[in-house]
Structure 1
Amino acid sequence: MNQSIKSLLLCSIGILISGIATAQVDKTSELFKTLKAKDSILFKIGFNKCKVEQSAALMFDDLEFYHDSSGFSNSKKEFIEAMKSGICKEDNPEKVYRFLVEESLEVFPMFDNGELYGALQNGKHFFSTDKSMTYENSDNYALFSHLWIIEDNEWKLKRVISYNHVSKE
């Protein structure tokens, strides 16, 4: 076997091994369960029940929130103010609720020299003014990516990308 083929083979094996090492964690793992619980605090409590301060505790002050149709927030403060004056406004006649598409949730750990420092959480969610809506009947859904970072042994939300908002109408 010539040297270039050996090099190509070794490079391919390295890529395969690195891909395996950074694959999605199992849905029964502690990391997956922890970040799924954080997602629940953000949305079931913060978004759906408008207890915004509880979800704010999970965010870095320099939170960046990117939304494909409503723009960009450059801080936790800005994001929380937008929540309070928008979706969680007291006199909001059409409160929208967020629901996770459970089977879509994925978590990818991030390491620095073998030490876990963060994770990327991806999934699909849908929105409705009807609390009993199911994904199959929903007409408004999107994809999301959350970058979680460990700070002082706590998971905190650093970046949010909410994209591909689609209406079936």
Structure 2
Amino acid sequence: MSSFYKPILTALFYLAQVGVVMAQDSMNYRITENYVPDDLDLYQTIVKLDQEFFGYYNTCETQLELYADFYAEELEFYHDQGGLSTSKSEIVQSTKQNICGRVTRHLVPNSIEVYSIPGFGAVEMGLHYFINADNPPNEPRKVGRFMIFWKEGSEGWKISKVVSLH
């Protein structure tokens, strides 16, 4: 191959990869086909809380206290790789050591579903993926499922249970 074509082919290969990633990001994934929230106000509240919580998660090197405040004191965190954690302080410490400044969470657009749990709060289900700064930038993204149980109480909405599947 002549030296003239090599940079052109490299650029085309790069653009094809960027196009695939952009197409993946713009896909309209759903957990349940044709989902429509039963309670639009509740749905909007939980979506906003998700944005706030993961905004703090993604900037936890400077926002760790705000991130931690979303968790209830009685917390259960089920993770398909890390197992069960029931200590809020250990979860926050683990986030500080392993996530802050290194990993960001990205929500798959339009994937959140919210269901009311009378007398408790709500459950949120959705799809997301994580980008680790230590990994190559063009590494394929693995979309995972999550469930967050939001408990509504005198202190507002708190996360009481999380199921995170990668």
Q: 1:65 to 1:24 in 2, by over 3 A?
A: farther
Q: What is the TM-score with the length of structure 1 in the denominator?
A: 0.67
Q: Once the 2 structures are TM-superposed, how far is the Cα of residue 138 of structure 1 from its aligned partner?
A: 4.8
2:37 to 25, 28, 35: 25
Alignment match, 1:62: 74
For 1:140, give the aligned amino acid: K
Alignment match, 1:38: 49
For 1:40, give the aligned amino acid: Q
Seq. identity, % = 34
Alignment check: 8 A CA contact 2:38 2:115 kept? no
Alignment match, 2:157: 155
Q: Which piece of structure 1 moves more, 118-127 or 47-56?
A: 47-56
Q: Which piece of structure 1 moves more, 69-78 or 79-88?
A: 69-78
Alignment match, 1:48: 58
Consecutive unaligned residues in structure 2, runs of 5 or more: 1-34, 134-138
Question: Is 1:77 matched up with 2:89?
Answer: yes
Q: Once the 2 structures are TM-superposed, how far is the Cα of residue 101 of structure 1 from its aligned partner?
A: 0.9
Q: Once the 2 structures are TM-superposed, how far is the Cα of residue 61 of structure 1 from its aligned partner?
A: 0.8
Q: CA RMSD in A?
A: 2.2
Q: Once the 2 structures are TM-superposed, how far is the Cα of residue 123 of structure 1 from its aligned partner?
A: 0.2
Q: Once the 2 structures are TM-superposed, how far is the Cα of residue 128 of structure 1 from its aligned partner?
A: 1.3
Alignment check: 8 A CA contact 1:65 1:74 kept? yes
Count of aligned pairs: 125
For residues 121 and 36 of structure 2, the distance between their equivalents in structure 1, rounded to whole angstroms, comes to 13
Tell me the secondary structure at the aligned position of residue 110 of structure 2.
helix
Alignment check: 8 A CA contact 1:126 1:138 kept? no
For 2:84, give the aligned amino acid: F
Q: Once the 2 structures are TM-superposed, how far is the Cα of residue 63 of structure 1 from its aligned partner?
A: 1.1
For 1:104, give the aligned amino acid: S
Q: Deviations over 1:130-161 (max 9, x none)?
A: 7xxxxxx9522210000111111611110000
Q: 1:24 to 1:157 in 2, by over 3 A?
A: farther
For residues 140 and 107 of structure 2, the distance between their equivalents in structure 1, rounded to whole angstroms, comes to 12
Larger RCO: Structure 1 or Structure 2 (Cα < 8 Å, ≥ 6 residues apart)?
2
Alignment match, 1:20: none
